[in-house]
Amino acid sequence: MTEFQYKNSKGESFMPLRDVVYLKLRESILKEELPPGTRLMEVHLAEKLGVSRTPVREAIHMLATEGLVIFRPGRGAKVAKLTQKDMDDVLQIRSALEALAVRLSCDHRSTTDLDNMRKAMMTFEKAVNDGKDLKTLSELD
Domain count, the chain: 2
Asked whether residue 139 carries a pLDDT value surpassing 80, the answer given is no
Residue 73 and residue 88 share a domain: no
Q: What is the structure's pLDDT at 52?
A: 92
Identify the domain containing residue 127 by its residue range.
84-140
pLDDT-above-70 percentage for the chain = 89
**DSSP string across 90-128:** HHHHHHHHHHHHHHHHGGG--HHHHHHHHHHHHHHHHHH
Residue 118 and residue 51 share a domain: no
Confidence of residue 12 (pLDDT cuts 50, 70, 90): low
The mean per-residue pLDDT over the stretch 49-71 comes to: 92
Final residue of a domain: which of 57, 79, 101?
A: 79
Beta strands in 25-91 (DSSP E): 39-40, 69-72, 76-79
Q: Taking the C-alpha atoms of 90, 95, 100 and 103 in order, what is their torsion angle to the nearest 10 degrees?
A: 160
Number of neighbouring beta carbons within 10 Å of residue 63: 21
